[in-house]
Structure 1
Amino acid sequence: MIRAVVTGASSGIGQAAAIALAKTYRHRNQAPVKIVVHYRNNESGAEQTADQIRQQGGQALTLSADLNDAAACDTLLDQSWQWLSVPNTWINFAGVDVLTGEAKSWSFERKLKQLMEVDVLATIKLNREVANRMLAGPESGPPPSITFVGWDQAPLGMEGEAGQMFGPVKAAVMAFANSLAQQCAPKVRVNTVAPGWIQTSWGQTTDSYWNDRAQQQSLMNRWGKPADVARAVCWLSDPENTFCTGQTLEVNGGWNRQFDR
């Protein structure tokens, strides 16, 4: 049975992952999938996610928390553990959107500061506690899992402000995930999914340069979709996938090294 927490599940890839979990595991056994749908402000999006999970025969609970608020994170943990008993998968999609909306006009320094505070520092603090609680859980059954979201270009770098922001931020997350995997094995599995060009809200409104680049830098000659990442997350989170930890799974359609920019 899947008993999951998906942070940042009110839109985009997080929403797709939460719904995919319910679809993927609804027929595995008679027990319903139970998923905590975390959000910060987008309550309507979280409720849409929860409704989709219920339509797949799963159970869903929406919980709001600002990951930059320690007290809110404690409440999220306590309520998640209370409703799920013990989660067997925790998936981290929550993060600051600095590419669309009001944040798009922020300075580089402000964007980077927000990303570091939420996507790195708050995520690390939260998941240290998630790991501690999982490690203190029962010994029976498959090991629970924690999944992080990195970026396929973080280890190598990319030109421009986006590369200078997301490169160090996602590299830090990926390094933490690898270190946590070393700490928690064999009782808790920890992995990272590293998307490439995924057509989220930014990709749907961007100009022709980025559209062409996203398609040409993939060997599959197309943008990735949130569903592509969601399927990878389901595989990493599968309770039967007990021999996979400390890994980074790139979801980028195969990197095209022939791209001429």
Structure 2
Amino acid sequence: MQDVTEPTDAPAGSDLRSLAGRSALVTGASRGIGLSIATELARRGAAVTITARKPEPLEQAAESIRAAVPGAVVAAEPGNAGSPEDRARAVATAAASTGTVDILVNNTGINPIFGPLMSADLDAVRKIFDVNVVAALGFIQECHRAGMGSHGGTVVNIASVAGLSSTGVIAAYGASKAALIRLTEELAAELGPGIRVNAVAPAVVKTQFAEGLLTAGEDVVASRYPLKRVGVPTDVAQVVAFLAGDESSWITGETIRIDGGMLAAGS
């Protein structure tokens, strides 16, 4: 019987350079899942632009990618995902290397509130949807205008298993991710054949963002999963890189669960 082991969080992606000659924009990429995705895309040869709100952590993230992938082409463009001007600037930076954005990964997401919807602050709910859904659409529109509409490309939206099954604890966040999944399907139908649009839906991944979901203890959370561990960022990055590349050329409108079997087990 195979041992149940936890992979390291060091990037361990393909050396096939399958994304060489392509430009990628990864939002919310100063840490965690976004940084891991950006590193994996760079490892596969893409010129990567990363964006997030805070300049210093973002530049540190860019340096970590350069250290992990010697020779990588990496640009850091700080900005607020909710700002049309900041989105346009990030997209323009990403397009500068190839004349278009070939790959967009919408990873930016927030969850400032926990608990049931009946006690949720509506301004906070609006903010969640504005960042998690509206800003994602805004980035896609901007990339479309910046060359993806004529040259084609791929979009990967980072959703969540909370968008596929009720949680109670992060209800507003889950509703926003359900909307993002539906947006993915609508855009896949609208933008094909030139642009493929897919999503991934992770369960709990060990990041700073997920700390509030691990308060009961990592082992307790992992016990709910058939694979008996929570995720690490590279689990998500590998699947995103697959969806961004030619190996998935007949996949669009799909949401891939990355959940250690949680939903299959009914957890």
TM-score by length of 1: 0.82
1:13 to 33, 39, 42: 33
Residues 129 and 212 (structure 1 numbering): CA distance in 2 closer, same or farther, change over 3 Å? same
Q: What's the counterpart of residue 59 of structure 2?
A: 47
Cα 1:183–1:255 change in 2 (3 A) is same
Name the structure 1 match of 2:3.
Answer: none
Deviations 1:63-101 (A, max 9, x none): 01212112222222223222342121110111225279x
Q: Distance between the aligned counterparts of 2:263 and 2:135, measured in 1? A: 34
Deviation at 1:187, TM superposition (A): 0.5
Partner Cα distance (2:176, 2:206) in 1: 20
Deviations 1:34-85, CA, capped at 9 Å, x for gaps: 10011111x2322222123323121111001212112222222223222342
Listed as ranges, the matches of 1:1-261 within 5 Å are 1=20, 2-23=22-43, 25-26=44-45, 33-41=46-54, 43-55=55-67, 56=69, 57-98=71-112, 108-109=120-121, 110-138=123-151, 143-160=152-169, 162=170, 164-204=171-211, 209=216, 211-255=218-262
Contact 1:134 1:144 in 2 (8 A): no
Conserved 8 A contact 2:222-2:229: yes
CA shift, 1:255, in A, is 1.8
Deviation of 1:210 (Å): 5.5
Q: Percent of counterpart pairs with the same letter?
A: 23
Q: 1:72 to 1:157 in 2, by over 3 A?
A: same
Q: Any gaps of 5 or more consecutive residues in structure 2?
A: 1-19
- How has the CA–CA distance of structure 1 residues 244 and 207 changed in structure 2, closer, same or farther, with 3 Å as cutoff? closer
CA RMSD of aligned residues (A): 2.4
Q: Is the 8 A contact 1:17 1:230 kept in 2?
A: yes
Count of residue pairs the alignment pairs up: 240
Whole-angstrom distance in 1 between the partners of 2:133 and 2:79:
16
AA aligned opposite 1:61: A
Note if contact 2:26-2:50 (Cα within 8 Å) is conserved in structure 1. yes
Name the aligned partner's letter for residue 73 of structure 2: Q
Q: Specify whether residues 197 and 136 from structure 1 end up closer, same or farther in structure 2 by C-alpha distance, changes over 3 A only.
A: closer
